[in-house]
Amino acid sequence: MTEEQGGVDRGQVMLVVLIALAFIASIVMLFTDSDGALKIALLAALWAAIIGFFLVFRYRRDAEAARRELAHSTELHDAEVARAEAERAARMEARELREAQHTRDTEVLEDIKRELAGIRAQLENLAGREFEYEPAALRAEARRIRELESVTLDE
């Protein structure tokens, strides 16, 4: 369309002017009973009809273009909604998989801890002594080894 949003269309103004002219000419024709007024009224009515046909054609074309644009926008919107729904479903599935994996990992770690406790109990039973917390025991043994090495080097 060539007119601005909310502006007045030139074709509509022309149609209103011709219809008003045809109406005035028809009233003049009725009261004057002259052939000239009849011809003017007939010409004004015909021009109003011709311009009306052009306006109807243009407005149908504009309405069809608007309908196509609406259909295209609707398709884009539906595609966007479907994509967003797929992304949301994928995120939910990924979160559920992470939670399931975390649960499995936690269960495996608990199983490993139980196995280690069982093995430690067996070792303590076989060795006849209780094992202390490993890092402290390792440090003590390492300190003892250094002491033995220093004694051996001094001799």
The verdict on residue 5 lying in a domain is no
The verdict on residue 45 lying in a domain is yes
Parent domain of 78: 10-154
The verdict on residue 33 lying in a domain is yes
Residues 72-105: tens digit of each pLDDT? 999 999 999 999 999 999 999 999 999 999 999 9
Contact 74, 55 (CB under 8 A): no
The verdict on residue 64 lying in a domain is yes
* pTM of the predicted protein model: 0.49
The verdict on residue 4 lying in a domain is no
Element (H, E) at 7: none
Q: DSSP for 96-139?
A: HHHHHHHHHHHHHHHHHHHHHHHHHHHHHHHHTS----HHHHHH
Residues 24-71: tens digit of each pLDDT? 777 877 788 778 777 877 787 787 788 878 888 988 999 999 999 999
In our burial notation (b when 16+ CB lie closer than 10 A, e otherwise), range 51-80 reads: beeeeeeeeeeeeeeeeeeeeeeeeeeeee
Domain count for the chain, please give it: 1
pLDDT band at 132 (very low <50, low <70, confident <90, very high): low
Contact 20, 27 (CB under 8 A): no
